[in-house]
Structure 1
Amino acid sequence: MKQANPMLEKLTEILPAIRANASKAEELRKIPQENVDMLHALGLNRAFLPKAYGGLEISLPEFTECIAALAGACCSTAWAYSLLCTHNHQMAMFSKQAQDEFWGENPDAVASSSIAPFGKYEETEGGIIFTGDMKWSSGVDYADWIIVGLNRMVNDEKVYSFAVIPRSDFTIIDDWYAVGMQGSGTKTASIKGVFVPEHRIQAAKDMMEGRHVGRELYPDSKIYHTPYRPYFACGFAAMSLGVAERMIESYKELTKNRVRAYTGAQVKASIPPILRVAESYQQVAAARAYLEKTWQEHKEYGERHEYPDSYTLAHWRTNQAYAIKMCVQAVNRLWEVMGASNWYQDREAQRLWRESNMTAAHAYTDYDVCAQIIGRELLGLDPDPALL
Structure 2
Amino acid sequence: MLDTETPSREQLVARAADLVPTLRKHAAWAEEHRRQHEETIEALADAGLFRLRVPKRYGGYEADTRTLVDVTAQLGRGDASASWITCVYSIPTWMVGLFPDSVQDEIFSTPDVRVCGTLSPSAMAAPASGGIVVNGKWGFISGAHHSQWQEIVAVLIEPDRDPMPVLAMVPMTDLTIVDDWHTSGLRGTGSVSTVAQELFVPQERVLPLPVILEGQVVSEANANAAMYRAPLLPVASASSVGTLLGLAAAARETFLERLPSKKITYTEYASQAEAPLTHLQVAQATLSADEAEFHAHRLAGLVDAKCAAGTPWRLAERVQARADMGAVGTRAREAVDLLATASGGSSIYSDVPMQRIQRDITAGNLHALMHPDTNLELYGRLLCGLGPNSLYV
| C-alpha contact (below 8 Å) 1:226/1:306 kept by paired residues | no
Q: Deviations over 1:138-187 (max 9, x none)?
A: 00011111111123357743433311111221121111111101110001
- In the aligned structure 2, how far is the partner of 1:302 from the partner of 1:387? 19
Q: Are 1:150 and 2:129 counterparts?
A: no
- 2:308 maps to 303
| C-alpha contact (below 8 Å) 2:69/2:296 kept by paired residues | no
- In the aligned structure 2, how far is the partner of 1:151 from the partner of 1:377? 29
Aligned Cα RMSD in Å? 1.9
- In the aligned structure 1, how far is the partner of 2:231 from the partner of 2:87? 18
| C-alpha contact (below 8 Å) 2:126/2:156 kept by paired residues | no
Q: Are 1:278 and 2:249 counterparts?
A: no
Q: Are 1:53 and 2:58 counterparts?
A: yes
User: Is the deviation greater in 40-49 or in 145-154?
Assistant: 145-154
Amino acid at match of 2:326: A
- 1:242 maps to 246
SS in 2 for 1:180: coil
- 1:290 maps to 295
How many aligned positions are there?
384
Q: Are 1:131 and 2:132 counterparts?
A: no
Correspondent of 2:327 among 322, 331, 346 = 322
- In the aligned structure 2, how far is the partner of 1:336 from the partner of 1:349? 10
SS in 2 for 1:21: helix
| C-alpha contact (below 8 Å) 1:115/1:150 kept by paired residues | no
- In the aligned structure 2, how far is the partner of 1:41 from the partner of 1:132? 34
- 2:164 maps to 159
| C-alpha contact (below 8 Å) 1:369/1:387 kept by paired residues | no
Which runs of no fewer than 5 residues in structure 1 stay unpaired?
A: none
- In the aligned structure 2, how far is the partner of 1:229 from the partner of 1:142? 24
| C-alpha contact (below 8 Å) 2:155/2:165 kept by paired residues | yes
Q: Are 1:70 and 2:75 counterparts?
A: yes
Correspondent of 1:179 among 173, 181, 184 = 184
- 2:370 maps to 365
Amino acid at match of 1:146: Q
| C-alpha contact (below 8 Å) 1:50/1:57 kept by paired residues | yes
- In the aligned structure 2, how far is the partner of 1:379 from the partner of 1:387? 19
Query: Once the 2 structures are TM-superposed, how far is the Cα of residue 328 of structure 1 from its aligned partner?
Result: 0.6
TM-score, scaled to structure 1: 0.94
- In the aligned structure 2, how far is the partner of 1:119 from the partner of 1:78? 28
Paired residues for 1:64-143 under 5 Å: 64-104=69-109, 106-143=110-147
Question: Identity of paired residues, percent?
Answer: 23
Q: 1:162 to 1:386 in 2, by over 3 A?
A: closer
SS in 2 for 1:133: strand
Q: Are 1:348 and 2:359 counterparts?
A: no
SS in 2 for 1:364: coil
| C-alpha contact (below 8 Å) 1:88/1:111 kept by paired residues | yes
Q: 1:262 to 1:362 in 2, by over 3 A?
A: same
Q: 1:83 to 1:4 in 2, by over 3 A?
A: closer
Query: Once the 2 structures are TM-superposed, how far is the Cα of residue 260 of structure 1 from its aligned partner?
Result: 2.8
Which runs of no fewer than 5 residues in structure 2 stay unpaired?
A: 1-7
| C-alpha contact (below 8 Å) 2:49/2:86 kept by paired residues | no
TM-score, scaled to structure 2: 0.92
